[in-house]
Structure 1
Amino acid sequence: MRETLAALAAGEISVAEAESRLAGYATTEAGRFDAAREHRRGIPEAVLAEGKTAAETAALAVTAVETAGRAVVTRTDTETAAAVREAIAESVPDATVDHNARTRTVVVHAPDFEPPSLDARVAVVTAGTSDAPAAGEAATIAREIGADVDLIEDVGVASLLRIVDQLDRIRGADVVIVAAGREGALPTVVAGLVDAPVIGLPVGTGYGVGGEGEAALYGTLQSCTVLTTVNVDAGFVAGAQAGLIARAVDGVSGAADGASGSESNGE
């Protein structure tokens, strides 16, 4: 505590960073940012842009970089991504900002941030191009946790030959995320062919009865092969769960000593 207060008095850290060190979170007008989540849980706090104004999201992103060294923003639109980029440029001008419009994510790293690196590989498999947004969000989160991510696209069950010629890549992974819409058959097929944990990510594509991901969700929940299922389009959850498995494979321990805080403005 004394070191934190001394650094604050000397102007070496901001009030937000001092608060995050002492309380585990930083308070802003847009909400409280859980700066200690990564130390406590192994998963970086993410800022969910949906339901927030562009200004609120940008303010939380700046706080994230100031207190945790990086910001992960999900479910952004063009206006919000631009607001985040502008706010970061003003507050942390040397930070890197990576906006992916397809996955609707923005990832910001402070100049001195050292990304984690795990000796574990996550395969993110998609049935078709329409599954890319949810799968890409999952890949982003798993990558930010430190896993080596291998994206294997467009191998849906409409032609089993497409999955067969990618089996060696998939089987080389320590954990597999499979994103599929429509009837959600691909996670079941993959889970029957690999010995790694499989996470089914149902995607809200399809139409008519069972559309918007319902059939895909029910299909993965009723899978006759062993897999874990997350909610429809829950790319963040799938990526985080895969990242935790990757940490276990790598042998990384859980929460750091003395870490505290609670989930607030993230997923």
Structure 2
Amino acid sequence: MDLKEMLLDVKNGNIEIDEALKKLRNLPFEDIEYAKVDHHRSIRNGYPEVIYGEGKTDEQIAGIMEKMMEKGSNILVTRINKKTYDYLKKIYPNIQYEELARIIKVENKNIQNVGKGKILVLTGGTCDIPVADEAYHTAKFLGNDVERIYDVGVAGIHRLFNNMEKIMSARVIIAVAGMEGALPSVVGGLVDVPVIAVPTSVGYGANFKGLSSLLTMLNSCASGISVVNIDNGFGAGYLASMINKL
């Protein structure tokens, strides 16, 4: 329940004022010792709080989810392994798991399409798919029409050109690449829409776990490219959704 719903319930006599005041104390955020669950995130930012799973215990994730469930929020949890999913599935049978993306989704409310156009996710290679899938499922969960075209890197650039009709129809493009990270620069020189570049940690030794592709993308001479951090598919999907809503 958000503030508007609560005020409406008070007005209609569905809830006593004392009970409303009690609930109001937990509306901005709820302190559960190890986390402060931000229930007002959707009012301020347009989307509910997203739970970053890596580094949290299974019990901590379950506790945060419980508080969000009580508010009827849609829930997205990133960086979740199969073992944690199996643990959470026993508590919340309605959760969905995207194993490659390592994402858990809970749809307590119907997700409406808020995007004005299509978001397209591209990868340089097959090894980039886990990061690209994180971007794909994030953007889709946030209410967008999203499409994927994988393994169209510059080592076989004819594969990219073979998909130009789809590429030109997108409103926002997410280009995910490791190795030398050249894909976003090529795409940025072909389209008139924002390109979000995502460097991945895929590559041999001198790749420095994604640093080389990150630097390539930051130094791109193509206009209209923004760059997120290494392997940050979630950040790319979230940003693409914000752009697509404008």
> What band does the TM-score fall into relative to the shorter chain?
0.7 to 0.9
Within 5 Å, give how 1:106-121 maps onto structure 2.
Answer: 106-110=104-108, 113-118=109-114, 119-121=116-118
1:189 aligned residue: 186
- In the superposition, relative to structure 1, how do residues 222 and 83 fare at CA in structure 2: closer, same or farther (>3 Å)? same
* Runs (5+) with no aligned partner, structure 1: 90-95, 249-267
Give a deviation string over 1:117-157, Cα, whole Å, max 9, x none: 12321101111111111111111221122110011111111
Shift of 1:19: 4.9
Q: How many Å separate the matches in 2 of 1:157 and 1:198?
A: 16
Describe how 1:54-93 pairs up with structure 2 within 5 A.
54-89=58-93
Paired position in structure 2 for 1:103:
101
Tell me which of 48, 51, 58 is aligned to 2:52.
48
How many residues are aligned here? 235
Aligned residue number for residue 92 of structure 1: none
Structure 1 residues 7, 138: CA separation in 2 closer, same or farther (over 3 Å shift)? farther
The structure 1 segments of at least 4 consecutive aligned residues displaced by more than 3 Å after TM superposition are: 1-10
* C-alpha distance after superposition, 1:39-95 (max 9, x if no partner): 211233111111100111122122223225211000001121122222223xxxxxx
Give the Cα–Cα distance (whole angstroms) in 2 for the partners of residues 68 and 135 of structure 1.
28
Q: What is the TM-score when the length of structure 2 is the normalising length?
A: 0.88
Letter in 2 for 1:191: G
Q: 1:241 aligns with which of 229, 239, 242?
A: 239
CA contact (8 A) 1:57 1:80 kept: no
Maintained 8 Å contact 1:202/1:230: yes
From 175, 179, 188, the counterpart of 1:178 = 175
**Structure 2 residues not aligned, in runs of 5+:** none
Offset at residue 237 of structure 1 (A): 1.0
1:139-191 superposed Cα distances (whole Å, 9 cap, x missing partner): 12211221100111111111011100111111111000000001100011111
Tell whether 2:168 aligns with 1:168: no
1:224 has 2:228 as partner: no
**1:214 partnered with 2:218:** no
Q: Is the 8 A contact 2:201 2:207 kept in 1?
A: no
For residue 29 of structure 1, report the CA deviation from its aligned partner: 4.2
Aligned-pair identity in percent equals: 33
The normalised TM-score by structure 1 is 0.81
